[in-house]
Amino acid sequence: MPNSTPNFPHASTMDILFTKQQIADRTREIGAQITADYAGHTNGQPIVLIGVLKGAAIFLADLARSIDVDNTFDFVAVSSYGRAKVSSGAVKLIKDIDNPIEGKHVILVEDILDTGLTLSYLRGLMLQHKPASLKIATCLDKPARRLVPIEADYVAFKIPNQFVIGYGMDYAERYRGVDDIRLFPEEAAGH
């Protein structure tokens, strides 16, 4: 009988994909790019960053501080993974935005763009709110897993089809607080 209890190796035993410094540098670069794209184009309205909980919370916080244009943020929560390492394919909205975004410049902020199912669903949902513009920022882009045609406007890093943890990203709700991005070992998942 296969091991159904996941193993939780210590993060320090996992290979680092991107260091805390690399992430900080790239996030500042994206913040500068967003600043350049929106400076003078918001009609005095703040940009609304909408983070996808829980994974994007840390990236959103760092990104918001790196943008030199007035911004505010809100959050949505969806479920497509549960406790699995692979998306179930069914996206379920758990928490919608709290404030209206009609006529505002919106950037959806995600931790990782892989199949595209979640962001495609959220893009459609946000467009129903009639924002002035809608863009997507993601910390990680995993194009090898794409199932629907969607691309992010701002990408910190492209990665191969490997499971990662840290910097907000988890395995079974663990490792979110690891400050760099690490490769989660396949054998640790018990599969």
Q: What is the pLDDT of residues 29-38, one digit of tens each?
A: 999 999 999 9
Residues 6+ apart with CB under 8 A from 44: none
For 76-91, how does the pLDDT look when each residue is reduced to its tens digit (9 = 90+)? 999 865 555 555 567 8
191 inside domain:
no
Q: Is 114 a catalytic residue?
A: yes
Helix (H, G, I), strand (E, B) or coil at 22: helix
Phi, psi of 31 (to 5 degrees): -60, -40
Which CATH number fits the domain that encloses residue 120?
A: 3.40.50.2020
7 inside domain:
no
101 inside domain:
yes
Residue 161 scores a pLDDT above 80? yes
Residues 6+ apart with CB under 8 A from 1: none
Range of the domain at 49: 13-80+88-161
75 inside domain:
yes
138 inside domain:
yes
Instruction: Tell me which residue of 95, 94, 91 sits closest to 147, measured CA to CA.
Output: 91
Q: Is the peptide bond before 54 cis (omega within 30 degrees of 0)?
A: yes
32 inside domain:
yes
pTM for the full model?
0.89
- Report the number of distinct structural domains present in the chain: 1
Annotated active-site residue in 62, 114, 141, 170: 114
153 inside domain:
yes
For 13-51, how does the pLDDT look when each residue is reduced to its tens digit (9 = 90+)? 999 999 999 999 999 999 999 999 999 888 888 999 999
110 inside domain:
yes
Residue 191 scores a pLDDT above 50? no
User: Other CB atoms closer than 10 Å to residue 163's CB: what's the count?
Assistant: 18
